[in-house]
Amino acid sequence: MANGNQKRTRQQRVAVVELPPGVWGTLAGQLRKGSVLLRLALCTLVAILLWGFTQGWAPPFSYRVGQIPQRDIVVQIDFQQPDSKLTEEKRDEARRLAISVYDQDVEPLVQLRAQLRLDLSKLLSAESFAEVDQELWQQFQPTPAEGTPDPTEEERQQQYQRFRDAFAEDGSLDIFDEQLSAVMTPLDQWGLLGELSEGVNLEKIFVRTGEEKGFAAEAQREVTEVLLESAAARLQQSLKEKLGSVELAQRIYARIRPRLEPTLTLNSEATHQAQDEAADAVETQYKPFRLGEETLAKAGEPLSAEVVELLRLEHEEIIAQQDLGARIRRTLAILGMYVALYTLCGFYISMREPKVLEELPRFVALLSLVILSVVLSCILNQYARGADLIPLLLLAMTSVIAYHQEMALLLSASVTLIVTISLGHDMSQALVLMATISGSVLVLKEVRTRGKLLSVGFIAAGVALLTTFGVGTLFGHPGAELWQNGFMLAVWSVIAGSLMTVLLPTVESVFGVQTDLSLIALGDPAHPLLQELIRRAPGTYNHSITVASLAEAAAESVGARGLLVRVGAYFHDIGKMLKPGYFIENQTPGDNRHDSLVPAMSTLVIIAHVKDGADLARQNKLPEPIIDFIQQHHGTTLVEYFYRQANEQKEKDPDSGEVDESSFRYPGPKPQTKEAGVLMLADAVESASRALKEPTPSRIESIVEDLAMKRLLDGQFDECGLTLEEVQKIGESLVKSLTAVYHGRVKYPGQETA
């Protein structure tokens, strides 16, 4: 006991006091959470992907075809341009100089030697000159020089006799064959060429002969070595040298020369292949450009495709020569921009749209939308100037539909900054983009008609056109360029509005939102669930229609989505159709099924309509916002009627068990949005006002204030973001609407008071 009553020292009392963590302490605590680290990792991954896709380490290429520079563009760095014309000329020359390929056929030469041996045998077999075949002998006569008289008969006999004497020795004919073969070996190996084909090398050729004949498979020869005339002259000289007798050599040459025919045939396929190989071996020729020596584009003249290609080559050379330090500095600057944008958008979203950060699928969808917008902007801008406006407008309109205008402006400005830096846009282009996007965001508040998004596109087109003229004039752009740019941006704006009309169902599905257009279709009384509600529980249906009218007006009074509340009210009590007889609006006088049930059981039946309604909604594929209305329109309120009955029974029977208040409350959750809070209060006051015997304005006002105060004190509005001022405005709207519904009527003669 003494220790228990011992007083703490001053230091102990001071040590017990713990101040809340500061900014850095709170930040450190958040970073220790796995969910926060996961989202930071996703943001880092997105930043790296965008940095890689946009080549954040290198300056962007900002020139486009048709762009009009305001000053001369001179060469900033030495570079080379591939010269296709010069390259083709060099390749044509290489084709012409490529060595042609000829196939050698030695068979005519072999036959020629065989025929010569046969002719010699005939001549030598004659016993005398008189028996000689004169026609054959005439073929062995060399052509006489001009002016030489014809030989006499005696001279001819002497010539023949000398011819026979040359072959008089035994084996001389065989020796002659060997000598002739040696003389004609070059002809057998390299062949004879009559004339060159067009378009081939006139100096050298390749001769291909059969390897089975003992010759080389491929050989390169000078053309002069294989031309028929030059080869015949060398043959004549070789015969003189080999045979030793000039006269015999002349007679043999006279017999051979007329029968020499070309043996080389051009191989077109092999020649073309050789020409192609020679052309392919020619390297690409380049035209050099020197720093400061040449002007690539003149001021005031539109850039042509050729000039833009030159500028692109120069840009690539600049990037290639960029040192590592410059790349690191630019990378750090780009990543720093991403960090700043993440910080700005992150703080805003955490305060205005915390569900985006809390729900991982929605967070991933938002990051994916940013990536897709940047990627498409960069790709489209390569093919058409100003086409990067289309993805930016789609991003802006999607953000308005999925979230709200303020967030759309923030996201659009952030992504536009990324695209502007990545594409190298100047200040005037950035201003035009931001003005066009802001105009589309400001006019797109709700989508109630099919033509709304298209009209937004036309309004954005007008903003783009006017802003282009205004900003372009301030920056001194030429009038022709202003007309061209303004018209193109207007066209892209209209295209973006048309695309958004087509993509609207996809946006609703991905981001889990419902536009007014889809809500109007969903709220059609012909909807199967509403038709079934009319058939099974007509009283509940009438109650829902009245609540919808009250809630819509109340929601609009505080700036909430009235149409969403109205459609949600149509379906909020569909669970009652499963057991309609247990709800008073569907009962006839004197028929109350709860009379036979204990309060706890009646409460279970009443509460069950929330879960039954949510199940019916999911089964019929109603959107999540409508299911939220079904689950939240009672929150965790108390079923007061049966709770009082249970307490009364407890007072009559003290031995009965304690009454647990929690078992008489709805399962919730409490309303999570302003629209759900409005529907809760409208549902409660509509039901209560029906019980008034004389619903005068003062009584209606009293019951509305009483129910609003009960819900407020019970904490039902703690999670929906409604302020006290907004709760008061909702109450005032409900009083006006109920007063109009239950206004006084003229009492006709004979009419009894209801």
pLDDT in tens, 141-166: 888 877 778 788 888 888 888 888 88
Cα separation of 476 and 653, whole Å?
A: 93
How does residue 489 score in pLDDT terms, banded at 50, 70 and 90? very high
- Separation in Å, CA 301 to CA 68, 267, 294, 531: 6, 54, 16, 69
How does residue 749 score in pLDDT terms, banded at 50, 70 and 90? low
Buried b (16+ CB within 10 A) or exposed e, 69-92: beeebebeeebeeeeeeebeebbe
Cα separation of 633 and 666, whole Å?
A: 10
493-535 residue pLDDT tens: 999 999 999 999 899 888 888 888 889 889 999 999 999 999 9
On the CB side of 15, CA atoms within 13 Å amount to 5
Average pLDDT, stretch 284-301?
Answer: 84
Q: Is the pLDDT of residue 216 over 70?
A: no
628-659 residue pLDDT tens: 999 999 999 998 888 888 888 877 777 667 77
Cα separation of 75 and 553, whole Å?
A: 68
35-75 residue pLDDT tens: 888 999 999 999 999 999 998 998 888 887 877 887 888 88
Spell out the SS3 assignment of 152-166. Answer: CHHHHHHHHHHHHHC
Q: Any idea which residue has 């700005």 for tokens? A: 344
**DSSP assignment letter at 403:** S
Cα separation of 509 and 427, whole Å?
A: 37
Percentage, residues of the chain above pLDDT 90: 37
Contact of 67 with 296, CB cutoff 8 Å: no
Domains of the chain: 46-58+324-513 (1.10.1760), 73-83+285-320 (no CATH), 97-144+151-277 (no CATH), 527-741 (1.10.3210)
Contact of 357 with 39, CB cutoff 8 Å: yes
What is the reported pLDDT for 24?
Answer: 65
What is the reported pLDDT for 753?
Answer: 45
Q: Is the pLDDT of residue 742 over 60?
A: yes
Q: Any idea which residue has 């012409």 for tokens? A: 96
Contact of 571 with 613, CB cutoff 8 Å: yes
What is the reported pLDDT for 531?
Answer: 94
- Separation in Å, CA 97 to CA 181, 205, 282, 461: 34, 10, 12, 61
What is the reported pLDDT for 744?
Answer: 55
What is the reported pLDDT for 550?
Answer: 94
Q: Is the pLDDT of residue 211 over 70?
A: no
What is the reported pLDDT for 218?
Answer: 54
How does residue 13 score in pLDDT terms, banded at 50, 70 and 90? low
Beta bridge partners of 289: 79
Q: Any idea which residue has 């020369």 for tokens? A: 257
Cα separation of 20 and 26, whole Å?
A: 9
- Rounded to the nearest integer, the mean pLDDT of the chain is 86
Q: ω into residue 669 within 30 of 0, thus cis?
A: yes
Nearest CA to 83 among 284, 281, 278?
A: 284
Q: What is the dihedral of CA 186, 187, 193, 199, to 10 degrees?
A: -40
Spatial neighbors of 132 by CB under 8 A, at least 6 apart, are 123, 126, 160
Per the model's pLDDT, the better-predicted residue between 133 and 467 turns out to be 467
371-410 residue pLDDT tens: 999 999 999 988 888 899 999 999 999 999 998 899 999 9
Rounded to a whole number, what is the distance in angstroms from the first to the last CA of the chain? 75
Average pLDDT, stretch 184-189?
Answer: 85
Run of H or E residues at 43: helix 34-53
Cα angle 425, 429, 430 (rounded to 5 degrees) comes to: 80
**DSSP assignment letter at 244:** S
The sign of the torsion formed by the CA atoms of 733, 734, 740, 744 equals negative
Summarize the chain as % helix, strand, coil (round to 5).
65, 5, 30
The sign of the torsion formed by the CA atoms of 675, 677, 679, 685 equals negative
Spatial neighbors of 196 by CB under 8 A, at least 6 apart, are 100, 202, 223
420-477 residue pLDDT tens: 999 988 898 999 999 999 999 999 988 888 889 999 999 999 999 999 999 988 888 7
What is the reported pLDDT for 354?
Answer: 86
CA–chain centroid gap for 213, Å, is: 65
Nearest CA to 392 among 403, 382, 383, 381?
A: 381
Nearest CA to 141 among 2, 250, 289?
A: 250
Q: Any idea which residue has 């946009």 for tokens? A: 54
pTM score: 0.71
Q: Identify the weakest region by mean pLDDT among 86-95, 409-418, 573-582, 744-753.
A: 744-753
322-380 residue pLDDT tens: 889 999 999 999 999 999 999 999 989 988 888 888 889 889 999 999 999 999 999 99
Q: Is the pLDDT of residue 727 over 60?
A: yes
Run of H or E residues at 102: strand 100-104
What is the reported pLDDT for 2?
Answer: 47
Cα angle 420, 421, 426 (rounded to 5 degrees) comes to: 60
What is the reported pLDDT for 132?
Answer: 84
Cα separation of 87 and 82, whole Å?
A: 8
Max CA pair span of the chain:
174
| Angle in degrees, 0-180, between the axes of helices 674-690 and 697-713, rounded to the nearest 10 | 130
Q: What is the dihedral of CA 474, 477, 480, 484, to 10 degrees?
A: -80
